[in-house]
Amino acid sequence: MPRKTVTEFQAERQALNEVLLKSKHKHIQRFFSIDHSVYQDAALPARTKEMLGLVASLVLRCDDCITYHMIQCIQQGVTDSEFDEIFAVGLVVGGSIIVPHLRRAAATRAELRQADSRHPS
């Protein structure tokens, strides 16, 4: 299956979250609330938490999670040098099995940087 673009990923994620959250099941609602809350500034800044989320996603080999946390990291101002170190930590912890995920993450980073350069803030 070809890699989704960031735009395709975001559209699919939003649409499927809307379907999932229509159930109004309290445990699903609570989990989504906790997931959102845990990445807010607290003892650790949101930026650091997103980098940690990216490392965990690399090690768990979840491409959707990797893409999500890369988007968040870009929004938090993570630099390419920092991404390289995040990738290195993920590689050391996860081993060579994560190399395909690193390749896709690098492609996602390039796509996000290209989109960012077209839409300066």
Residue 82 sits in a domain whose CATH number is: 1.20.1290.10
Per the structure, the complete domain to which residue 32 belongs is given by: 6-38+45-118
> What is the four-CA torsion angle of 86, 94, 37, 9, rounded to 10 degrees?
80
Cα–Cα distance measured from residue 72 to residue 51, given in angstroms and rounded to the nearest whole number = 9
User: Based on the structure, what is the number of domains in the chain?
Assistant: 1
Is 1 contained in some domain? no
pLDDT band for 87, please (50, 70, 90 cuts): very high
**pTM for the predicted model, two decimal places:** 0.89
Is 11 contained in some domain? yes
| Mean pLDDT over the full length of the chain | 94
The pLDDT assigned to 2 comes to 76
Cα–Cα distance measured from residue 29 to residue 67, given in angstroms and rounded to the nearest whole number = 22
pLDDT band for 40, please (50, 70, 90 cuts): very high
